[in-house]
């Protein structure tokens, strides 16, 4: 009968490595990526979230017109959820030994989404939908990059991705409520 590698590393070896590398915090020998690369990717996601917070807040305060109250409340809810995403990403960055890059001077350059003020309610909704679609695509790419090499960060990004998909659907619903499609078939084909 062939001998196979044990499921877990020898406990004595685990203890030895844990003591020898305490300064690395949560990043252990089993971490398969370069933490600096992951921190850079997460700082881009962080910038994206902060730009989204700022855009949604701007739209919340600038909303005008017949449907402004309901739409503005949706903008505020999304701004608050995007801020929670930014906080969670910042926490993960520090767990990986990095520092969250909150520098306002470089924020929009690092963000995947854009900060667009928009002039009317429908334009605001559309800009937010575009930003959500950008986040969905870039976060899906991040998740694929992480794969099984950083399960904790991948799970975090998967959770955030799920909320971004809800946000995109919310924005599409708002557009349909304000400007129903003329073909009578609805938006989803």
Q: What string of pLDDT tens digits covers the 189 residues of the chain?
A: 556 665 666 777 767 777 777 667 677 777 789 999 999 999 999 999 999 999 999 999 999 988 899 999 999 999 999 999 999 999 999 999 999 999 999 999 999 999 999 989 999 999 999 999 999 999 999 999 999 999 999 999 999 999 999 999 999 999 999 988 754 455 554
What is the structure's pLDDT at 18?
73
- Supply the DSSP string of 131-168, one letter for each residue: HHHHHHHHHHHHHHHHTTTSHHHHHHHHHHHHHHHHHH
What is the structure's pLDDT at 184?
46
What is the structure's pLDDT at 25?
67
The span from the CA of 96 to the CA of 131, in Å, is: 27
Other CB atoms within 10 Å distance of the CB of residue 126? 18
CATH number for the 33-178 domain, one of 3.50.50.60, 1.20.140.10, 1.20.1260.10, 2.60.40.1180? 1.20.1260.10
The span from the CA of 12 to the CA of 52, in Å, is: 47
Per DSSP, the three-state class of 56 is helix
What is the structure's pLDDT at 189?
47
* Nearest residue to 92 (alpha-carbon basis) of 49, 52, 29: 49
Token code pair at residue 169 = 């659907």
Domain definitions of the chain by residue range = 33-178
Q: Report the C-alpha dihedral over residues 153, 144, 147, 108, rounded to 10 degrees.
A: -30
């Amino acid at each position: 009968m062939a001998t196979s590698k044990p499921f877990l590393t020898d406990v004595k070896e685990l203890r030895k490595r844990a003591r020898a590398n305490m300064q690395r915090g949560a990043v252990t020998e089993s971490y398969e990526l370069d933490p600096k690369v992951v921190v850079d990717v997460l700082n881009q996601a962080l910038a994206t979230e902060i730009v989204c917070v700022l855009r949604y807040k701007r739209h919340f305060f600038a909303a005008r017109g017949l449907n402004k109250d309901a739409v503005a409340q949706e903008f505020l809810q999304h701004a608050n959820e995007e801020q929670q995403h930014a906080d969670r990403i910042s926490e993960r960055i520090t767990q990986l030994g990095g520092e969250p890059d909150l520098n306002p001077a470089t924020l929009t350059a690092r963000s995947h989404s854009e900060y667009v003020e928009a002039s009317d309610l429908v334009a605001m909704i559309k800009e937010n939908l575009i930003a959500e679609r950008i986040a969905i695509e870039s976060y899906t790419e991040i998740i694929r990059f992480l794969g099984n090499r950083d399960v904790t960060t991948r799970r975090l990004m998967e959770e955030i991705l799920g909320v971004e998909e809800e946000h995109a659907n919310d924005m599409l619903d708002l557009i349909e409520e304000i400007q129903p499609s003329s073909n009578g078939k609805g938006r989803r084909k």
